[in-house]
Structure 1
Amino acid sequence: MPSAADPDVQQANRLFASVIIAVYNDWAPLANCLQSLAAQTKAFSFEVIVVDDGSTHNAPASILEWMQKYRWKILRQPHLGPAAARNHGIRQSVGEILVFTDADCILEDHCFAALGACIAASPSCGYFQLCLAGVRSNLPGKAEDLRLIATQSFLLQPDGCIRYMNTAGFAVRRSCVDVETGLFDERALRAEDSLLLANLMRRNQLPFFVRAAAVRHPINLSVLGVLRRTVRSALLEAPTHAIISTLGIKVLMNHRERFGMLRSIWRISKTKSIGRAAFVLLVARQTLRLLTLTACRILPRRKREENVVGNLGQV
């Protein structure tokens, strides 16, 4: 049976979806991501657009082979950040549904089948959050899985929508997007999905949570590497949260919600396949993130801008 990624299937049917992946030097994990896209079963027809956000080295031959085999596109731009890269991909796309994932993510085989069924059953819904999960192969992976399970469960609303957005697994109807302007605010060097969520919340819109459409996010870093990346990410997120604060919308959890989330994380961490060590690492990660965001609010504006510029090359 031909795959939905097969170019002949794509040519015979109008493309239903465009999958957009922003890449900055993370070519190695992208191969696994592309393999998982090619393996989608009973899925809608789709194209894949990889946007190279000014990587310092070119895509290896193995990636180019994937792109050529399925006639997928690879675009290049200066290093402007993931928001600009995704908007570039949107402008070059043709699908009725725009799907976003990250280079280091792996989609479960039935992910698109589940997403397609949900989209068909929800004609009035424009935005869809896929179910994210970690890979419990190491302690950082267990902590990531714990974070995602707790976050998605805690922020899920009674109507099936979710007060959460993560472009590691996110879809939107093309009709909801101004293609020329783009979907993402390019001022955001990181946390552009949080800024988009804030704008949706202003319009009383939330993405619908598609639990059966699973995307896994492996973490192949040491504990120290994870903590360092947490601080770098928070430094880049801080200006975005400053923009969000001007909208009068609270995307970050308040103290009461954080306490409730902490209890939820503690409860889930008793699972043997996750464990209390993952709880400790996750609390350390979240504490570092909050401390960094708080420090960025206190630091003089000029110093914050120097930090952001210094970290842009590490996005």
Structure 2
Amino acid sequence: MSGFVNKLSSVALCVLLFFCFRECTKGALKLDQKYYLVNEAYDVARSLFLKGRVSYDQLKNTSLHVVDTFLDLVHIMNTEMAKTLRGAVIKFYKIKYFHDFTNYVITLQEMIDITEHCLADPAERVARLRSDFRFLVHNFQDVRHFRTVDTCRLQLPDEVAAAHCILHQAVLFNETMQESLLSIVEIKTLQHARKMNSSLYEVQRCLNSFVPNFFEQLLVDAYTDKCRFLKVVNASTADLINDKWRSNKDILFSKKWTPLVELLKQRSTTSQSLLLTLLSANLTSNDIINTLYQ
């Protein structure tokens, strides 16, 4: 009888162990599935973060290159116009007064000082806008931190909800950061282009405000709509303003104007005509030449 009881006890123990093992196994499988979802969400979120950061850095570099190209072009064109204006002032005095300035109210030296004063703003503005834009872009930091997704896991007990939260955080951070930087770039490129153009046209008004009608007497095209150098600036400004940062993966401004700017840096526009330099740039579009010589 005792043997039968022992056998029954052994069977009961085996059955009990079997059910315990099965329940534990179910729990383990369920736990693995939970962690599998979270791990997958983490991997996808991390991939999204890295891609977003690369795209973010590319946008910053592209915007810096575009603005630098524009300001380099303006600097070169402004330098050539300033040379023309300075030469016109000297010629005006030499021809009109034959080196005898005693009867002229404003001496040559005073007129040179006035001219340099009016020419100072475009040159200073190029440097200031370049510095301001670089400071803005470099200090517009990527504030995404991957550890922020941990709050999803810590605060949401349900693993499916946690996984969904992790992915949502990653996408939200990517879109928010990219949109914020895009807005800044669009606004500032537009502002800088308009400020630079306004500064160039202000040179003529500045001279005439000191000496009424003096600019017209110089018989010079510099800093007027007839000036070919200023036409180049106007054409580049229009392209910079018309570029759509949100839709264009490759900003058209760089493709169109970088070849010309590089050539202008290599050779002086005084030693080679602007038209020949434009042709040498092997531009894909004739818009610049048509604008220049229309």
- In which range does the TM-score fall when normalised by the shorter chain? under 0.3
Q: Which structure: greater helix fraction? A: 2
Q: Which structure: greater strand fraction? A: 1
State the TM-score, normalizing by the size of structure 2: 0.23
State the TM-score, normalizing by the size of structure 1: 0.22
Q: Which has the higher contact order (CA 8 A, sep 6+)?
A: 2
- Rg larger in 1 or in 2? 2
